[in-house]
Structure 1
Amino acid sequence: MNSAGHPEATAHRGLELTPFRGLRYDPDRVGSLAAVTSPPYDVVVRPDGLLHLESADPHNIVRLILPQADTPEERHRQAARTLRRWLAEGVLTTDPEPGLYVYEQRADDGLLQRGIIGALRVSDPDEQVVLPHEDVMPHVVADRAALMRATSTNLEPLLLTYRGDDTTAATSALVEHTAEQPPLLATTTEDGYRHRLWSVTDPGTVGRVRAELARHQALIADGHHRWATYRTLRAEHPSPSPWDHGLVLLVDTVRYPLRVRAIHRLLHDLPVRDAVTALDGHFRVRRLETPLDESLRTLAEAAGTGNAFLLAGDGAFHLVDRPDPALLARTVPTDRPEAWRTLDATVLHSTLLAHVWRVPDDSAAHVSYIHDTAATVEKAERDGGTAVLMHPVREEAVRELARQGVTMPRKSTSFGPKPASGLVLRTLDG
């Protein structure tokens, strides 16, 4: 076992990080670097957030990661045309030398996160090099793969974590020393986060970092669908090729612990009244006459003793807890560890969605996954649906399941802060 408790991979099959020539915005060709960045594609709240980003700057990265057209095929072709035009116009330019990129994020509340962006070899699941902890939706992987084929570009990095120790001293020193130097770029996005990026091109330094990371494994913190996309596309191209690698941000969570937040659900076709009525005899339901922040604190208290959810969409909040044990025994699969069977996301999908509310969870037409709590409530109230607000899963529970090779229900967690999209891209066409 290594320091993270993961089974050790063989020495030549750990993390294999490769330098690359980053594709970046020319700051002289755009209004501002902040105006062309975006949260990751699956965090953008559509359509409100999408329209806001599109209007922020005509070159906002959202036009590549979430292109808009009538059909999926046309969306992907449009992204490819947009990318080619920006390259021809010099809006995006390729760095002159291959390197690894040190990336820093800061917030006014004291948060500081630093990591290394590089091209990571796409490993097979049985190698236990990159450990997923969530299931993926095949249609999302297919869409991301089609977009990546059309653009031949890694448009945004995944967020991976590893547990640094004495064997990563040079890597830690590189990150800290580099952060004292003038950056390639610095910008503050409208959420208040300050971003800085540096390129490290010295072959000796890069070689030491690569050698250290080759002894470690990583946990996918954000980007399960993109990692599955990398694996799909690697299988389509004869090796060796640029498709053997994918763009990632690696963060040592011993030095920079991530924050874990919940991902909420919006049930489009289920009014709150019907959702509450269906729970009678299955869960305890209490109407809370309190604002959002206080209601979330009540949810946290209830989640400390068992499964609990907060429903919203009718102008109030409804605490749902104390499920009927017999109902759980009938509906939750028994072929997984107890830590998986008792997850809120497991109970939500296996019991509430599948049996109590009978809402299909395999289509965005029925269920949307939204990171922003207030936005989930607002959309439910506006559209007449039900917001299901979740309590975050402990990071220790995520790691324990990943070590056992057990994946959690899709969209169970939100690790952050996530890297901003648009600061550095990786082209795959040479």
Structure 2
Amino acid sequence: MHVAGLTLAPFHAVRYQPRRVADLAAVTSPPYDVVVKPDGLHRLETAEPHNVVRLILPKGADHRAAARRLRHWRASGVLTADPRPGLYVYEQRRGPDTVLQRGLLGTLALTPPESGLVLPHEDVMPEVVAERAALTRATAANLEPLLLSYRGEPEGPAAHAVDAATEGEPLLATTTPNGIEHRIWAIHDPARQAAVNAELAHHRALIADGHHRWATARRLNEEHRGTPPWDRTLVLLVDTARFPLRVQAIHRVLPWLPPAAAVDRLAGAFRVRPIRATPLPDALETLRTTAGPAFLLAGQDEECWHLLDRPAPELIERTVPHDRPPLWRGLDATVLHAVLLNGLWRPRPEDTGPTNPRYLHDAPSALAQARQSGGSAVLLRPVAEATVRQLAEAGVTMPQKSTSFGPKPASGLVLRDLSDEAEGPIADET
């Protein structure tokens, strides 16, 4: 199969009608896997009756209810589709002078893995892919875009198209509670769309955020034998030569394992140093400057951290797979999963409570959940983007939930309803 390169196709953006919702910001949500449960989920559900979290995280994983809700919101005019298909420029800004990110929203062809055009850098959890596939199958919609990065051409057609679009009035603008302003413009000109794709054809993209959504889209594409509209999925493509992404860590919470038990089970496998009466930022700085694989362990005692480093070489040799390059074998997440989560800290019959790790994108939330559950928070360091890209280009994936790229697109600003494309032309926006 010959694949020419990346192609970003226009689509009918499905958007909230401002006159039908209390506030555009109130119907947005972080991506489904960033929403903190249960408190963050509850806040979003009660922020506005039409918050998109009711679609992306329906109660009880009731995917049919999410599908009915989406159809009802479409039929009642809460959500409407733009009558003309387009590519869209999405900007996130902090204040009048600081552009954090600009990228292109469109539908990307689901190229086969062997094409090397879309590079994953993390493993996925099969149960999450199955759940996301069930939701997408039921709703027949891309409810959230993936975040992809590529290195564009200075002053190239894509950069020109993005900047030219932002000179006009945006289709929508809102400011979320974190102070970030979100704005979106449309690119309807076919010539400009073609110029963008002429440049993209010479590039490949790295999945920055959305590995499970990508695996979900590929699964559904295979189920539909590559037929439209399932052969594409919604993405935000960011030129990181112009707008570098930030890479942050994703932390783990182990509800079944209190810190004292975690330290006991190490049995000398790591050096363990207590750090007492230290604020979280200082503790994280100590972790950042520690050489080699290292982690911060914390739990009920708010005054004491445990810094874990210097794993026993013979333990690393025995437990970390040898079929990957040294760069991968030395990753914090590799050591955490191979040595600890799948080994020394694996749940035992005497352990109580949930026995699956939880993944939190910010350290305070991880600490709060560890203390609430009586378990442990394991805080990690971010991985350099260059390391992520080097491994991805070599075809090597990192352990699941190793990185958090951002800023992430807000969910709820633009959706893609596959039925709009399957049914042909749609009525004008109401």
Distance in structure 2 (CA, Å) of the matches to 1:127 and 1:214: 13
Q: TM-score, normalised by structure 1?
A: 0.93
Residue matched to 1:401: 391
- Which residue is equivalent to 2:246? 259
Aligned to 1:312: 298
C-alpha distance in 2, partners of 1:60/1:427? 17
Aligned to 1:129: 117
Contact 1:102 1:197 in 2 (8 A): yes
Find the aligned partners of 2:149 and 2:215 in 1 and give their Cα distance.
17
Contact preservation (8 Å) 1:13, 1:129: no
What is the CA distance between 1:429 and its match in structure 2?
1.5
Per-residue CA deviations over 1:200-236 (Å, capped at 9, x if unaligned) read 1011111111121111100000000000000000001
Q: Which runs of 5+ in 2 are unaligned?
A: 421-430
Q: 1:347 corresponds to which residue?
A: 335
2:35 match: 44
Does structure 1 retain, via aligned residues, the 8 Å contact 2:347–2:355? no
The answer to whether the aligner puts 1:83 opposite 2:70 as a matched pair is: yes
In the TM superposition, what are the counterparts of 1:409-428 in structure 2 within 5 Å?
Answer: 409-428=399-418
1:13/1:127 contact within 8 Å kept: no
Q: Offset of 1:111 from its aligned partner? A: 5.3
Aligned to 1:292: 280
Q: Is the 8 A contact 2:123 2:397 kept in 1?
A: yes
Percent sequence identity over matched residues?
59
Note if contact 1:264-1:389 (Cα within 8 Å) is conserved in structure 2. Answer: yes
Whether the aligned pair in 2 keeps the contact of 1:15 and 1:215 (CA below 8 Å) is: yes
**Maintained 8 Å contact 2:100/2:407:** no
| TM-score (normalised: structure 2) | 0.93
User: 1:357 Cα shift?
Assistant: 1.1
Distance (Å, rounded) in 2 between the aligned partners of 1:239 and 1:111: 37
- Are residues 1:20 and 2:11 paired? yes
CA distance in 1, matches of 2:166, 2:309: 46
Q: How does 1:2-401 map to 2 (within 5 A)?
A: 12-69=3-60, 72=61, 75-108=62-95, 110=98, 112-166=100-154, 169-289=156-276, 290-302=278-290, 305-314=291-300, 315=302, 316-359=304-347, 365-401=355-391
Aligned counterparts of 2:391 and 2:241: Cα–Cα separation in 1: 19
Whole-angstrom distance in 1 between the partners of 2:21 and 2:377 = 38
Partner of 1:5: none
1:380 is displaced (CA, Å) by 0.5
Structure 1 CA distance for aligned equivalents of residues 42 and 189 of structure 2 = 41
Q: CA deviation at 1:291?
A: 1.1
- SS of aligned partner of 1:347: helix
Which residue identity does 1:21 align to in structure 2? H
Q: Quickly say closer, same or farther: Cα 1:320–1:110, change in 2 above 3 A.
A: farther
Check the 8 A contact 2:221/2:227 in 1, yes or no. Answer: no
The one-letter amino acid of 2:145's match is: P
Letter of the aligned partner of 1:382 in structure 2? Q
Q: 2 CA distance for matches of 1:413 and 1:421?
A: 19
CA-based RMSD of the aligned residues comes to 1.6
Q: What is the aligned residue count? A: 412
In the TM superposition, residue 110 of structure 1 has moved relative to its aligned partner by 4.0
> Which amino acid in the other structure matches residue 171 of structure 1?
A
- Pair 1:107–1:364, CA change in 2 (3 A): farther
Structure 2 Cα separation of the partners of residues 371 and 261 of structure 1:
8
Give the distance between the partners of 2:366 and 2:226, measured in 1 at CA: 43
For 1:245, the aligned partner's letter is R
Residues 237-291 of structure 1, C-alpha deviations (whole Å, 9 max, x = no match): 1343100000000000000000000000000100111001112311111111201
